Structure 1
Amino acid sequence: MNIALLLEMAAEAAPDRVGLVCDGKRWTYGDLLDAARGAFELIQESEAEYVALLDESSEAAVIAVFGAALAGVPYCPLNYRLPDADLSALLGRVAPALVVGDEERITRLAGDQGHTIFSREEFTLKAQETVPEPESREYDPGEGVAIQLFTSGTTAAPKAAILRHSNLLGYILGTVEFASADEADAALVVVPPYHIAGISALMSSIYSLRKIVMLPNFSPEGWLSLVEAETVTNAFVVPTMLARIVDAMEKGVTVNVGSLRAIAYGGGKMPIEVIHKALERFPSAGFTNAYGLTETSSTVALLGPDDHREALASEDPKVRARLTSLGKPIPTVEMQIRGESGEVLGPNEPGEIYVRGEQVSGEYKEKSALDAEGWFPTRDAGYIDEHGYLFLSGRADDVIVRGGENMSPGEIEDVLLTHPAIADACACAIPSVEWGETVGVAIVTREGFETPSEDELKMLVRSRLRSSRVPEKIAFVAELPYNEMGKLLRRKVKDVLAEA
């Protein structure tokens, strides 16, 4: 099977239903399939081995991903925010490709790499103009690699994560019911096209026959306006986006958001204060925390709407704590927590999260990361409580090892965030002559509050945790560095602490 089947089924079932809205233009499912078939022709003519996208979200992304699937070549969306040198290297790794997007930049960086280059507008127009007659072409797209996504390299070149058609279809067919959406349902997609969350959002919406509403550039005002204008029913946001949306509403941006029935979030740690405010601001919406990775074809665990509301209403501290959890593994995925020696740990024992299932690729172009039994090490640290809820404590690589004792940055940050004057906090390892590593923290204070002293913050941590968790270095900063998906960039915080 091939992911192109998702669009073919949608177009056959409802060819005239609007499937996509972007910059005011509407595309039916029939239109999208015709354009994808036209893109197939362009790809065949180019003899490209990849289809790459260097652009914001648009109809071109949808046409490209399914056109590539029909042609049997990998779709490789690139992060247009990368520096020129990094992008040039990535473009070289997929040459020769049919590349869609920033024509001037692509030509300047990779004009000699053998690519076929189209602007967004030219690609979309040509794909529409070259639609073959249905009987004139038989598609044999194969079942190999569907998507190739480059990981964000920090100390080495980015790895090429591979998602096969079977992985993506394993996720979609296992979690989404075909044609389950009402014609009035609309999903607002604001995630960048080079992120797995954006790709899975397209596929799940198309398979359910839900209208996709694209917002290429996020702003809280633009997001809220689209919710009202397109009567959006479903949305996915990252924590930083939700925080800005709530803040805009608190500052007086008034729109009708009553159509929103479901808001999913993920991609980073959600501050407890933000989700509390969001639950109040969107009382009729069901919130879902979705945890997943590129290598797992998106979501592997969910904290559902009932869990959110139950936790918010409960007086039991353990139940309320579930708001900070990632919920439970989805039915099609197995999950384990393993210790340093690879042993499977029990409830409430912290270790590394491993997952297994049909949607789990765990494969890179360079090599596979799966063990002999098909388990994928996520490199995320966490634990599963006695009721089956997964709690994340950060990346396994982020663990602070002080004198042989492993410490989670998350537990230190959670304590600091209980201080009323602290808006955000990041704990990470800093070098120590005595201990090898020790704790450093970067603090963002709230506007209108007096900045707490270092001694006050150290006493707060000491009162809640063991003395080894007390930070030795504290830096006050204007803001913490996050990427566009809301992930905290601890490596940059380490640089700040080194300079402080």
Structure 2
Amino acid sequence: MNISLVLQMAADTFADRIALTHNSVDYNYGRLYASAKAAAARIVESGASYVSYLGESNPATVVALFGAALAGRPFAPLNYRLTVPETNRLIERLDPVFLIADEDKLATIPTGAAQVVMSAAKFLATVITDQQSDWEAPEDEEGVAVQLFTSGTTGEPKAALLRNQNLLSYVLGTVEFGSAEEDEATLVSVPPYHIAGISAILSSIYATRRIVQLPQFSPVEWLKQCAEQRVTNAFVVPTMLTRIIGHLDEARTVPDLGALRSLAFGGGKMPLPVVQRALHLFPHVAFTNAYGLTETSSTIALLGPDEHREAHEHPDPMIARRLDSVGKPLPTVEVEIRDESGKVLGPNELGEVFVRGPQVSGEYQGRKLTDAQGWFPTRDSGFLDADGFLFLAGRIDDVIVRGGENISPGEVEKVLREREGVADVAVVGVPSVEWGETLAAAIVRTPGAGLTTEALQDHVRRKLRSSRVPEHIRFVDALPYNEMGKLLRRNVKAMFAG
């Protein structure tokens, strides 16, 4: 099987149903499938080994993804926010490539860097058709369907490989085919070069839920599209939800969100106060916290709507704390917590999260990180409670070693966020002559808050051990996040340089 099966089934069953809306233009499943076949023919004819997309979400993204699959070529979307030199180095790694780009990106691509270069508009104009051809997809479960470049915080980005069998295992194991009603629509505001963007396309089409594309996120435009397009489902990253709530708290008029039924979030740690505020603001909405990685073909654990509502303000603290978890592993995924020696740990013991399952790739170009039994080390720190709920404590690399004691930044950040007046916080390790490493906290205050360094240090000291008290505190206007809502801790550390 091939991931094009997802679109083929939708087109065979619901050819005339609207699959995609972009800038108020609709595309049905039959047209998308016919166009993907036409794209596949162009791709094979070009002799390219890869298909790449450099730009914002567009119908061309969807056609290129499935066109690549039908052609048996990996789809390798690029981060359009990278610098020109960074982008061109990635294009070189994809040679020979069939490259589709936004109009403003074309001039930055060196002549001869790609086998074929065309704008997204020209690509669509070339391949959009309603005429179904007899093009057959290659049956290659082992073939690479999608290649995603990691953010590359150190050195050049790594190329994560997701094979057809990985992505299909995720979709077929989590979504029921044709389960969406015809009036359902999902708002996709995550970029196409991120696993969340890829999985949103595959999952929505398999469910036959209409995709509404939002190329550039803003809280105003997100709310507008929700109202105008009668959006029923959406996915956001932490910074998006924070900005949406902030806008709603300040807005005099609120768009009609009566159609919104489900809101999923993921891509980074969601601050607990944001989740609690969202549950108050949207009492009719079913919330889902999704935890996953690029190397696991998206989601591997979920905290579902019922679990959100049960944990919210529950009198039992052990149940209430589940709101800060990422829920339980999917039925098709196994999770273990291990210590540094590889020993499997018991409930509530902190260690590294390992995962195993058919959707788990754990593969980069040139190397495989899964062990002989198929276990993948996520490099995330966390624990499972006695009921199987997974709690994350940050990245293993973010652990602060103070005087030989391992300290999770998330533990301290959670306590600081409980303090009234703290809008956002990041805790990092900085060099210390006495301890080797000590804690530093960057704090964003809510408007008018009169917080002091001493008051915050006393607050942490009362809640945690003295070793958890940040030695350095700096008040800042905002914390650095990437476009997917992940905190850039290396940039926070730079605030405390010297």
Tell me if both proteins adopt one fold, taking TM over 0.5 as the criterion.
Answer: yes
Per-residue CA distance 1:232-289 (angstroms, 9 max, x = gap): 1111011111111112222224111111111000011111221112112211110000
1:492 aligns with 2:465: no
Residue 483 of structure 1 and its aligned partner are, at CA, apart by 0.8
Residue 173 of structure 1 and its aligned partner are, at CA, apart by 0.5
Q: Please tell me whether the aligned partners of residues 426 and 443 of structure 2 are also in contact (alpha carbons under 8 angstroms).
A: yes
Task: Give the TM-score, by structure 2 length.
Answer: 0.97
Aligned counterparts of 2:348 and 2:63: Cα–Cα separation in 1: 45
Aligned counterparts of 2:461 and 2:424: Cα–Cα separation in 1: 19
1:239 aligns with 2:241: no
Residue 158 of structure 1 and its aligned partner are, at CA, apart by 0.7
Q: Which amino acid aligns with 1:403?
A: G
Match of 1:140 in 2: 138
Residue 38 of structure 1 and its aligned partner are, at CA, apart by 1.1
Match of 1:212 in 2: 211
Match of 2:59 in 1: 59
Per-residue CA distance 1:55-83 (angstroms, 9 max, x = gap): 10010100000000000000001000011
Per-residue CA distance 1:12-69 (angstroms, 9 max, x = gap): 0010000000111000000100110111111012111100000100101000000000
Other structure's SS at 2:368 match:
coil
Match of 1:266 in 2: 266
Taking the TM superposition and a 5 Å limit, the aligned residue runs for 1:26-37 are: 26-37=26-37
Aligned counterparts of 2:495 and 2:71: Cα–Cα separation in 1: 47
Q: Please tell me whether the aligned partners of residues 54 and 105 of structure 2 are also in contact (alpha carbons under 8 angstroms).
A: no
Match of 2:151 in 1: 152
Per-residue CA distance 1:285-306 (angstroms, 9 max, x = gap): 1000000000000000000000
Residue 133 of structure 1 and its aligned partner are, at CA, apart by 5.4
Q: Please tell me whether the aligned partners of residues 91 and 110 of structure 1 are also in contact (alpha carbons under 8 angstroms).
A: no
Q: Please tell me whether the aligned partners of residues 7 and 29 of structure 1 are also in contact (alpha carbons under 8 angstroms).
A: yes
Match of 1:439 in 2: 439
Aligned counterparts of 2:169 and 2:115: Cα–Cα separation in 1: 32
Aligned counterparts of 2:422 and 2:16: Cα–Cα separation in 1: 52
Residue 141 of structure 1 and its aligned partner are, at CA, apart by 5.5
Any gaps of 5 or more consecutive residues in structure 2?
none
Other structure's SS at 1:75 match:
coil
Residue 421 of structure 1 and its aligned partner are, at CA, apart by 1.5
Q: Please tell me whether the aligned partners of residues 441 and 497 of structure 1 are also in contact (alpha carbons under 8 angstroms).
A: no
Segment of structure 1 superposing worse, 1-10 or 317-326:
317-326
Aligned counterparts of 2:188 and 2:137: Cα–Cα separation in 1: 29
1:473 aligns with 2:472: yes
Other structure's SS at 1:118 match:
strand
Match of 1:463 in 2: 462
Match of 1:95 in 2: 95
Residue 113 of structure 1 and its aligned partner are, at CA, apart by 2.1
Match of 2:373 in 1: 373
Per-residue CA distance 1:70-108 (angstroms, 9 max, x = gap): 000000010000111111111110011011113553453
Q: Please tell me whether the aligned partners of residues 34 and 133 of structure 2 are also in contact (alpha carbons under 8 angstroms).
A: no
Match of 1:173 in 2: 172
Match of 1:84 in 2: 84
Any gaps of 5 or more consecutive residues in structure 1?
none
Aligned counterparts of 1:170 and 1:114: Cα–Cα separation in 2: 32
Q: Please tell me whether the aligned partners of residues 347 and 385 of structure 1 are also in contact (alpha carbons under 8 angstroms).
A: yes
Task: Give the TM-score, by structure 1 length.
Answer: 0.97
Aligned counterparts of 2:456 and 2:278: Cα–Cα separation in 1: 28
Other structure's SS at 1:56 match:
coil
Residue 132 of structure 1 and its aligned partner are, at CA, apart by 6.8
1:335 aligns with 2:335: yes
Change (3 A) 1:30 1:236: same
Q: Identical aligned pairs, as a percentage?
A: 55
Segment of structure 1 superposing worse, 392-401 or 272-281:
272-281
Q: Please tell me whether the aligned partners of residues 99 and 118 of structure 1 are also in contact (alpha carbons under 8 angstroms).
A: yes
Aligned counterparts of 2:266 and 2:136: Cα–Cα separation in 1: 40
Aligned counterparts of 1:289 and 1:495: Cα–Cα separation in 2: 31
1:226 aligns with 2:225: yes
Aligned counterparts of 2:497 and 2:272: Cα–Cα separation in 1: 29
Residue 138 of structure 1 and its aligned partner are, at CA, apart by 3.9
Residue 339 of structure 1 and its aligned partner are, at CA, apart by 0.3
Change (3 A) 1:185 1:435: same
Give the paired residue count.
496
Q: Which amino acid aligns with 1:244?
A: R
Aligned counterparts of 2:24 and 2:145: Cα–Cα separation in 1: 29
Q: Please tell me whether the aligned partners of residues 161 and 364 of structure 1 are also in contact (alpha carbons under 8 angstroms).
A: yes
Q: Please tell me whether the aligned partners of residues 14 and 29 of structure 2 are also in contact (alpha carbons under 8 angstroms).
A: yes
Taking the TM superposition and a 5 Å limit, the aligned residue runs for 1:413-424 are: 413-424=413-424
Other structure's SS at 1:498 match:
coil
Change (3 A) 1:87 1:140: same
Aligned counterparts of 2:108 and 2:101: Cα–Cα separation in 1: 13
Match of 1:14 in 2: 14
Aligned counterparts of 1:404 and 1:185: Cα–Cα separation in 2: 53
Match of 1:254 in 2: 254
Aligned counterparts of 1:104 and 1:237: Cα–Cα separation in 2: 27
Match of 2:295 in 1: 295
Aligned counterparts of 1:114 and 1:54: Cα–Cα separation in 2: 12
Aligned counterparts of 1:153 and 1:203: Cα–Cα separation in 2: 25
Match of 1:398 in 2: 398
Q: Please tell me whether the aligned partners of residues 163 and 295 of structure 1 are also in contact (alpha carbons under 8 angstroms).
A: yes
Aligned counterparts of 1:6 and 1:110: Cα–Cα separation in 2: 35
Change (3 A) 1:375 1:280: same
Change (3 A) 1:35 1:141: farther
Other structure's SS at 1:77 match:
coil
Change (3 A) 1:28 1:247: same
Per-residue CA distance 1:377-425 (angstroms, 9 max, x = gap): 0001011111111111100000001121100000111111111121111
Q: Which amino acid aligns with 2:476?
A: V
Q: Which amino acid aligns with 1:185?
A: E
Match of 1:68 in 2: 68
Q: Please tell me whether the aligned partners of residues 159 and 366 of structure 1 are also in contact (alpha carbons under 8 angstroms).
A: no
Other structure's SS at 1:265 match:
strand
Q: Which amino acid aligns with 1:125?
A: A
